[in-house]
Amino acid sequence: MSWILAIGFFILAPLIGGLLEGADRVLCARMQGRQGPPLLQPFYDMFKLINKQSVVVNNVQDVLVCGFLIFVVFAGLLFYWGGDILLVFFALTLAEIFFIMSSCSANSPYSSMGAQRELLQNMAYEPMILLAAIGFYLATNSFNVKEIATSSVPSIVYLPGIFVGYVFILVIKLRKSPFDLSTSHHAHQEMVRGLTTELSGNVLAIVSLAEWYENVLLVSVIGLFFINGTWWSILLAILGCAIAYFVIVLVDNVFPRVKWDVMMKSTWVVTLVAGGINLMIMELLTR
């Protein structure tokens, strides 16, 4: 069963990730009173990028971008196979570091500025991700995704604060305004395209493929909060993911981009208050 899920992720995640981005863009357009692109637009974009000439600034860049894709896919496979959730998060961070290094290697001011901001974002959201892993352990006595997913009570019952914190940092991870400092999907961008400025053609296609995998994985972690051994909890998990994603798109359209220090402070405050207090109360109750 776990192997089927892992292979299913490998094949279906790009499809779901692309559709998710398409739905995201349509939803965004409707919120702004526009008609918006067709639902399949991300796939058209991907096809176009593959067919374009690729201007390579530095050959190391290609290798590093491939590293980004490989480690994101590895993290996702491990998650769906039911492996250690700590290892999933570490592999995801490693993938992120590969991506940051690739934009550092381009030797362009915009791209390296994007890389520095991405590092700041990493610093902002990483504590919450680790707290989420610890929270799952305290709630279910296991770091194993398989055991967390088949526990008798869904983790959200024990971890409402950590859930809020995780959705909060997902705004950073999914590159949504107000925290889309390093690179943005919108046109209003003060440093060209940030991280992906120097990437073009099929290298950029690899980046967006990796981002589709990453988004599916990150949204799946939301689902992990809701899931337990029963079949109907899967429906609950999908509903939870959809609502959380809608809220994130809404936030994206409502708030303007903030400076890095505001991002840092607000994320750490939410991490400490929502995550920390949640863990403390759980410790007190279970003792």
Partner 1 sequence: MKVSKSPWMLHYDGSSCNGCDIEVLACTMPRFDVERFGVINTGNPKHADILMITGGINAQNRPVVEQIYSQMPSPKVVVAVGICACNGGVFKDCYNILGGVDTVLPVDIYVPGCAARPEAIIDGVVKAVALLDEKRKTMREDKKEEGQ
Rounded distance, CA 58 to CA 38, Å? 34
> Residue with structure tokens 């991870």?
173
Residue 220 · residue 92 · CB < 8 Å: no
CB of 51 to partner 1, least distance (A): 5
Other Cβ atoms less than 10 A from the Cβ of 40: the count is 12
Which tokens is 126 given? 């990483």
Give the nearest distance from C-beta 187 to partner 1 in angstroms: 4
Q: Which is nearer to partner 1, 198 or 214 (CB)?
A: 198
Q: Output 31 or 238, the one with its CB closest to partner 1.
A: 31
For residue 275 the two structure tokens come to 């995550």
Rank residues 127 and 201 by Cβ distance to partner 1 and give the closer one. 201
Output the smallest distance, CB 196 to partner 1, in A: 8
Look up residue 212 and give its amino acid. W
Q: From the CB of 60, what's the least distance to partner 1, in Å? A: 17
Compare residues 183 and 271 and give the one whose CB is closer to partner 1. 183
CB of 237 to partner 1, least distance (A): 32
Task: Supply 217's token pair.
Answer: 């994985």
- Shortest distance, CB of residue 250 to partner 1, whole angstroms? 18
End-to-end CA distance of the chain: 35
Between CA 189 and CA 196 the distance in angstroms is 12
Kindly state the tokens that stand for 168. 């909060």
Asked if 123 and 161 count as a contact pair (C-beta separation under 8 A), the reply is no
CB closer to partner 1, 48 vs 265: 48
- What is the nearest approach in angstroms of partner 1 to the Cβ of residue 253? 13
Between 32 and 152, whose beta carbon lies closer to partner 1? 32
84: which strand partners?
A: 144
Residues near partner 1 (CB under 8 A) are 25, 29, 32-38, 41, 43-45, 47-48, 51-55, 187, 189, 192-193, 196-201, 204
* CB under 8 A, 24+ apart: contacts of 151-156: 151/228, 151/229, 152/228, 152/229, 153/228, 154/225, 154/226, 154/227, 154/228, 154/233, 154/236, 155/224, 155/225, 155/226, 156/225, 156/226, 156/240
| Pick 30 or 265: Cβ nearer partner 1 | 30
The H or E element that residue 107 is part of is none
- For the CB of residue 184, give the shortest distance to partner 1 in the complex, in Å: 11
* Minimum CB distance to partner 1 smaller for 38 or for 109: 38
